Structure 1
């Protein structure tokens, strides 16, 4: 891509775009301010169409598809986009996606996963989104709970739609993964390389859940240390920004942290750290376009 091997390239992504209006509004402010690189749309969720309308209005903004196969909140649920084809292995008795990755991996059939992946991408495109990349909500397709992964199916979709994927090479070095999962990750990364699919080197975030008493300054200082510790290569930092409205508070108990994340990359100290550390901000569109040029 023309960068030096020692350059630290950074993508900042807002996950869970489309989940609710509060999260849409926060991600959109950050995107328009140029504070983050991209957002990924949860197509099965109730507010996804609003997010897609924004993507259509601002085609210069990077919007990917957040492939969604879990529905984790107690009183706010979603299920498959697929309507006319059997995808019963993807749902609970109530008709929603399972609430955790373990349950999903134990029951989901690969062919039905493949159908739903295609439907989610096609729905986004039909709404006017020009997807820049794919990633996975809660990591449900990575096989990290049981070793039963669906990445071959995901990589087929990446190849078909000519999209890069949030698949970090660093998975193969995670000490907390058992050797068999490290081997699986290495095989899937090799497959991505063989297919010419752009992936990343490292994937970082901070703890998702809100701890009572946690402050914005604590979060900011943690992010500054994370930024200073970036390694050479392509890193994605993902966050879940949202405004702590009554809507978001009703959905999840972590609304205060979502609100802090909505302000994090607008903070001058964060921006100055990125600049002083000579971190180069890039986008998923950069990776997508390079992938398409290389695979003509």
Structure 2
């Protein structure tokens, strides 16, 4: 009996110490490639000169052709399809690739929002529409096929503005298509935790300090940080929507932290291993 007790104690502390020895792995996911020229260039910069490990591309957007070319020029970066069922900005819009009237407004654009909020009435939210699951499936499929045709190394899917959580049947379609096209890397199934700013993030300096605080707080395990790089230039200054008017300034701050030498050095000092979605299959076989 005593031997069994000591064996259990030994196993407990062995597992505890083993867990403590596990590395911190971090995916830096940069979203929304394709919606603007300024975002496209910033996303590539955060990969080339910074810490971005996975880039999410939006297929129906106006700058998707440029995104394709830039990604061809940078074959090392992991790429995901950012499934898009909304068009949120006031001064630039995009439409479904397919004939899908149940998920389009009177002008043929995607609705701005997934869910109703205080800034937009229900008539501007996809959730409140009489959407057709078959049209959603054909649209997601069309986005996948256009992406893999132009960017064959696509490794995974993700959801712009959480659109695939619109309803359980939409999530089911998303999962089904991910498996069908062999893009079924789902971080939530692989014990990947979300990492986010530890503190205020209004200004670029606040972002930097809060990001560094987050890095220092990470314990053993695998994490994912998600944000949206772009440049503070006239093109981005013209892009906004109600409730989010400082887009250019905000996203320039994201670009700054993802390329900041102090942050890059801190990641090295903390022995944080930067990985991509594609790497998840290697660490979670």
What are the equivalent positions in structure 2 for 1:86-101 lying under 5 Å apart? Answer: 86-101=99-114
Q: Structure 1 residues 52, 19: closer, same or farther in 2, change over 3 A?
A: same
Residue aligned with 2:28, SS:
strand
Q: Do structure 1's residue 124 and structure 2's residue 147 form an aligned pair?
A: yes
Aligned partners of 1:167 and 1:80: how far apart in 2? 27
Structure 1 spans left out of the alignment, 5+ residues: 169-188, 190-198
Aligned partners of 1:204 and 1:36: how far apart in 2? 14
- TM-superposition CA deviations, 1:136-171 (whole Å, max 9, x none): 11111113xxx5562111111111121244553xxx
1:113 is aligned to: 136
Q: Structure 1 residues 104, 263: closer, same or farther in 2, change over 3 A?
A: same
Q: Do structure 1's residue 266 and structure 2's residue 259 form an aligned pair?
A: yes
Larger radius of gyration: 2
What are the equivalent positions in structure 2 for 1:274-285 lying under 5 Å apart? Answer: 274-285=267-278
What are the equivalent positions in structure 2 for 1:236-255 lying under 5 Å apart? Answer: 236-252=224-240, 253=245, 254-255=247-248
Instruction: Give the alignment's TM-score, normalised by structure 2.
Output: 0.80
Residue aligned with 1:251, SS:
coil
Question: Which residue of the other structure, out of 58, 81, 96, is the alignment partner of 1:80?
Answer: 96
- Following TM superposition, by how much is the alpha carbon of 1:129 offset from its aligned partner in structure 2, in angstroms? 4.1
1:195 is aligned to: none
- Following TM superposition, by how much is the alpha carbon of 1:10 offset from its aligned partner in structure 2, in angstroms? 0.6
Aligned partners of 1:232 and 1:98: how far apart in 2? 40
Aligned partners of 2:106 and 2:281: how far apart in 1? 38
Q: Is residue 50–residue 258 contact of structure 2 (8 Å, CA) maintained in 1?
A: no
Residue aligned with 1:244, SS:
coil
- TM-superposition CA deviations, 1:256-287 (whole Å, max 9, x none): 11111111122122122222222211111213
Q: Is residue 105–residue 149 contact of structure 1 (8 Å, CA) maintained in 2?
A: no
Question: Which residue of the other structure, out of 104, 119, 126, is the alignment partner of 2:126?
Answer: 104
- TM-superposition CA deviations, 1:65-112 (whole Å, max 9, x none): 110011111121111112xxx421111111111111122233332222
2:172 is aligned to: 152
What are the equivalent positions in structure 2 for 1:31-70 lying under 5 Å apart? Answer: 31-70=47-86
Aligned partners of 2:133 and 2:185: how far apart in 1? 18
Count of matched residue pairs:
250
Residue aligned with 1:202, SS:
strand
Instruction: Give the alignment's TM-score, normalised by structure 1.
Output: 0.77
